[in-house]
Structure 1
Amino acid sequence: MQALNTRFPFVDWFRNSSPYINTHRGRTFVILIEGEAMADGRGEQLIQDLALLHTLGVRLVLVYGIRPQVSRALGEAGIDPQRHDGRWVADQAIMRCVERIAAEQRLWLEARLSLGLPNTPLHGVELTAVSGNLVMAKPLGVRRGIDFDHSGEVRRVRVGSIESLLDRGALVVLPPLGFSSTGEVFDLEASEVARHAATALKADKLILLGEADGLYDDSGRLQRQLTPIEAEPLRRAAIPGSELARHLSAACEAARHGVGRTHLLSWHDHDALLGELFTRDGVGTMITQHRYEQLRPAELGDIAGLLELLRPLEEHGMLVERPRERLEQEIDDYLVIDRDGMIIGCAALHLFPDAGMGELACVAIHDDYRGNARAELLLAEVERRARRRDIKALFALTTHTAHWFIEHGFGPVRIDALPALRRDAYNHARKSKILLKPLS
C-alpha cells in the first residue's frame, strides 16, 4: 500500500476528499470569477474546475466580472469615465461598451462550457449554461451631487427562475448587469450580484475568486477563518472601491444574511478552488457567522471521534486506555475542539467536590494540529469550568508531558496531595508524575 501511495499520491488525496464530495453533492455554490482572471488567461482552468464540480453534483451559479476588459475597451475608444467612490458614471457611451463586453464574455464562457472534444477535461461532460434577465436592478441615482446615470444596484434576484434552472441541472451564468421594469439595463458590481444571489438562494457557499489569496494578520500569517465582526475593521480600512473592499463587503453581508460560508481565494493559484473545497484546512480565508473550528462540550455523537483521536496516544502509553463505555459514562466531563466535523482536540475535567479539587485529564491534540495553542485553549476553558464549580485546585497525572504542565503553572506534589478516591485509584506501575495548580 505504501508503494502505491508513493507512485500515485493523488490516490490518498482522493480518498481523503470523499467526505467533502458527499457533503457538497446537491449543495448550491455561488462563484464569482473577477474579470482579471479571464484577462490573464486563467478562464480555461477555472471552467474545467467548474465542470468537475458540476459532475460531482454541485448546483452552480457563476457570476463573472468584466472590469479590466471594459477599462481596456474604454481606453481604446478614448473614453475617460468619471469615477466616484470606486464606481464609474455609466453614461450611454460607457453602457454600450459594458453591454458589448458582457455579451462577449458570456458567449466565451458558454462556448468553453460546451467544449467536449476528446482528450480535453470536458470530454463526455454535458453542461447546459443558462443566462437571462435573472437580476433586477435600480439606478444608483444622484449621490453627493453626482448623477450615476446607468450605474445601478441590485433590487432583487429572481430566485424561483434560478432554482428552477438549477433543479433541471443547468449551470446559471449571471453577468454584472441588471434589468429594470422600465426596460433599462444597468451596470452592476459583480461582487454585489454574487452576494445578492447567494443570499436570495440561501446558498451553502459564496466563493470569491480575486487577486489576493486570503487575508493576513500583522505578522503576515494567513487567517484561515474570520467572523463578520472580526473582518469588519479590515473592510473599513480598505480603499473604497478596491477589490478587497468589495469582497469583504460581500462576504460580511452574506454571512450576516444566512450564507453558511464565504471563501476568499486567488485565481492566480491553479489549485485554490478545489483545494479549498476538498481539503479540511483549505487554502484561503473563510468568512462565516459560526466558526468551523470550535471549542465546545462533548456529546455522545463525538465518541467515535474521541476514540480515533486517543487511540495513537494510548498505543504509545501516553494516555491510559479509555474504552467506549467509560467515555460514554464520563462524556459530560469532556471538552472537544471540533474542526469541520473532525475532533482534533479534547480535555476532561473530573471533579472531586468534597476535596475542592478537579483532575485535568486526557489532554490530547491531533498530530496535524499541534503548535497553535489549542492545548492552552483547552486548559483555559477547563480552568473556567473548575472555577464556576468552586474548585480550588487542579491536578494532573502524566508520564510524558510534565514540562508542559509546569510551564502552565502546575508544580510537582506527592501522592498524598490527591483526593482520597483518586489516591486509591493511582496506578503505581505507571509511575505517573503528579502535578497540581492552585486556582486563585
Structure 2
Amino acid sequence: MFSGEAVAHTNFANIIHDIALLNSLGVKLVLVHGARPQIEERTMLRGVDSQFEDDIRITDSQTLECVKDATGSLRAHIEALLTMGLANSPMHGSQIRVCSGNFVVAKPIGILAGVDYQHTGTVRRIDGEGVEKQLADGSIVLLSPIGYSPTGEVFNLSHQDVATEIAMTLNADKLIVFSEQDGLLNSDGHLIQNCEVSAIQQLSEQCDDKQTAQLLKTIISSIENGVNRCHCVSYTDDGALLQELFTRDGAGTLISHNHYEQLRPASIEDVGGILELIEPLEAAGTLVKRSRELLENEIDQFTVIDRDGMILACAALYSHAGIQSGEIACVATHPDYRGEDRGERLLAALELQAKKFKLNNVFVLTTQTAHWFQELGYLEVSRDQLPEQKQTPYNLQRNSKVFIKQL
C-alpha cells in the first residue's frame, strides 16, 4: 500500500524495480495506490472546491471526474514503470504482467451526521476469487482507490480501506505499507524496529497526525483480522523494501500479533544456537566452558530469546535440592543485539520462575558484569554465603564475584 505522495516521490521508480524483482522470485503481489495529492491537483486546475469532513473527501459529480482522471493516470503510470523491467540486470527486457479490473465492489458512505458524502464510498466486498486467479497466473494485481457498484456507479474510496479489505480477503501473509518516515516512530522520534499490535494501539491513541493515524488504523485492522504481519517502510529510502524483507533486522517497523522476538523455554533444537552464542564468551573467559553434551543434558534449565530461529540471548536457572536458593548462569546476549534490555527481560523471567519454584533468593557468579547485576538489584556477598553444594566446586582460578538477590 502506497499513497499518492509515494507515487510522486523521486524514489518511486526504485520501489517499482524492487517490486518487479519480488514478482520474478514468485512472490504474489497486490499493489494498492492512493491518489489524494493527484486528485487535489486536478480539482485546483478545474476550479473545483475540495470539501472534507473528518479528513474524508466529499465527492460531488465534478470531483468524481477529477478522481477518475487522477486514478486512471496513476494506474497507467505504474503499469508503464512495471513494463520497463530492470535495466543493466538479468531481468532487463523481462515481461511483467499487470492486471487491473473491477475487483472492488463498493457502496456509498451515504449521509453521516447530516453530511451527504455523495460519490464517496466504502468497500462492500472484494472479488477474491478473481484476484487469486490473476495471482496464480503470475500477474501483479494493481488496485486503485475506486470501486464499482452493481448499479454501475463509481465511488471514490480510501486506499487504506481497499488495502485492508484485500489483505483480509486474501488472508495475506503480509501487508506492507509505505510511509514518509523510516517506519513507525516512538514518542522520542526513534524508529520502532518491531512490536506487537497492542503497542500500535497505544501509539494510535497518542497520534495527532491524521495521515499517520489512518495508517496505524490500517495496520491494526489488518492484524486483528488475520494478517500475520505488517511492515511499515520508507518510500524515500532506496532499497528499504528489500532490506525489510530479506535481512533479519529489516529497515522499517515490523508489527505482529505476538512479539516478533519470543522469550521462551529452550528446547533441544536450540543447542546449536546457544553454543554459537556462548562460544566467543567462553573463549574470552567471560563464561565457564560448556560441552555440547552438558548443554544437551541441561537444556531444560535454559530460557532463550529468539528471532526467526536465531538465538539472540540465553540464560539458565539451576535450583539446588534441599535449599531455597537458585543459581542464574550463562547469561549471554549476541553482540549485535546488546543494549536493548534483552538481558533484563531474561533475568526478570528467570526471577519470576524462581518465585514459582518458591525459592527465597537467586545468586550469580560473575567476573566481568558485576556492575550490571548491581544495577538490577543484586548485592555482592562473600563466597561463604554460597549454598554448601556450590562452595565445593567453586572455581578459585576464575575468582568470580558472588552476587545474590532476595526474592
TM-score band, normalised by shorter chain: over 0.9
Contact 1:48 1:122 (8 Å CA) reproduced = no
Q: CA separation in 2, counterparts of 1:181 and 1:34?
A: 27
Matched residue, 1:260: 228
User: Secondary structure at 2:306's aligned position in 1?
Assistant: strand
Whether contact under 8 Å (1:397, 1:435) holds in the other structure is yes
Instruction: Report what 2:28 is aligned to.
Output: 59
| SS class of match (1:344) | strand
**Higher mean Cα deviation, 164-173 or 271-280?**
271-280
Return the alpha-carbon distance in structure 2 between the equivalents of residues 109 and 215 of structure 1. Answer: 26
CA contact (8 A) 1:347 1:360 kept: yes
Matched, 1:184 2:180: no
1:226 counterpart = 2:182: no
Give identity over the alignment, percent: 44
Q: Summarize the alignment of residues 101-180 of structure 1 with structure 2, pairs less than 5 Å apart.
A: 101-116=70-85, 119=88, 122-180=91-149
Q: Is 1:381 equivalent to 2:349 in the alignment? A: yes
- d(CA) in 2 for partners of 1:370 and 1:345? 9
CA distance in 2, matches of 1:117, 1:51: 8
**253-262 vs 323-332, which deviates more?**
323-332
Of 167-176 and 228-237, deviating more is 228-237
What is the 5 A alignment of 1:31-430? Answer: 32-116=1-85, 119=88, 122-239=91-208, 242-430=210-398
Instruction: Give the C-alpha shift of residue 252 in structure 1.
Output: 0.4
Indicate conservation of the 8 Å contact 1:114/1:126, yes or no: yes
The Cα offsets for residues 334-381 of structure 1, whole Å up to 9 and x where unpaired, read as 111112321111111001141111000000011011112221221111
Equivalent-residue separation in structure 1 for 2:197 and 2:54 (angstroms): 22
AA in 2 matched with 1:297: P
Contact 2:17 2:86 survives alignment (8 Å): no
Amino acid at match of 1:281: D
Give the Cα–Cα distance (whole angstroms) in 2 for the partners of residues 207 and 236 of structure 1: 22
**What is the distance in 1 between the residues matched to 2:315 and 2:154?**
59
Gaps of at least 5 residues in structure 1 are: 1-31
Q: Distance in 2 between matches of 1:188 and 1:389?
A: 57
Contact 1:302 1:343 in 2 (8 A): yes
Residue 312 of structure 1: how far off its partner (Å): 0.9
Instruction: Tell me the matched-pair count.
Output: 407
CA distance in 2, matches of 1:41, 1:403: 50
* RMSD (Å) for aligned C-alpha atoms: 1.8
Higher mean Cα deviation, 34-43 or 373-382? 34-43
Equivalent residue, structure 2, for 1:20? none
Q: TM-score, normalised by structure 2?
A: 0.95
Moved over 6 A (4+): none
The change in CA–CA distance for 1:33 and 1:117 in structure 2 (over 3 A counts) is closer
> Cα deviations across residues 66-92 of structure 1 (Å, max 9, x unaligned)?
111110010000001221111111111
Q: Flag structure 2 segments of 5+ consecutive residues without an equivalent.
A: none
Q: How many Å apart are 1:239 and its aligned residue?
A: 4.6
Q: Distance in 2 between matches of 1:180 and 1:328?
A: 63
Name the structure 2 match of 1:26: none
1:411 is displaced (CA, Å) by 2.9
Q: For 2:59 and 2:382, how far apart are their aligned partners in 1?
A: 79
TM-score, with normalisation over the residues of structure 1? 0.88
Which one-letter code corresponds to 1:245 in the other structure?
A: A
For 2:350 and 2:16, how far apart are their aligned partners in 1?
48
Aligned residue identity for 2:227: V
Pair 228,408 (structure 1): closer, same or farther in 2 beyond 3 Å = closer
